[in-house]
Amino acid sequence: MQALILASGPDSPRANEIVDTALTDFLYEKIEAQRIDLGGRTIYALLIALDPAHFEAVREDLEASGLKNNLDIAMLEVSKV
C-alpha cells in the first residue's frame, strides 16, 4: 500500500529527520518527499510504500514522535497498490 505522511511545525531543518527516525523500525520504500519552508513554518510531505499490516503501528509511532518534537504529523492511506 502507499501512504502519505504530512508533518508541519515550526521552521526546523529536523522535520524530515524526525519522520525518518520514527520510521527506522519499519520496512518501507520512500517514493517521494517534498518540503516547504514558509512564514517560519515547515511542511514536510513523504509518500511511502509499506506493508498494510504495519499501517497502524507506523501511524501511532509517527504521532507519538510528533508530540515529543512539536510537530503535527498525520498519515493517510492513498492507495492499496
* pLDDT one-digit tens code per residue, 18-51: 999 999 999 999 999 999 999 989 999 999 999 9
Q: According to the model, what pLDDT value does residue 11 have?
A: 82
The CA dihedral of 9, 12, 16, 21, to the nearest 10 degrees, is: -90
- Strands of the 2-10 sheet, one edge to the other: 28-38, 41-50, 2-10, 72-79
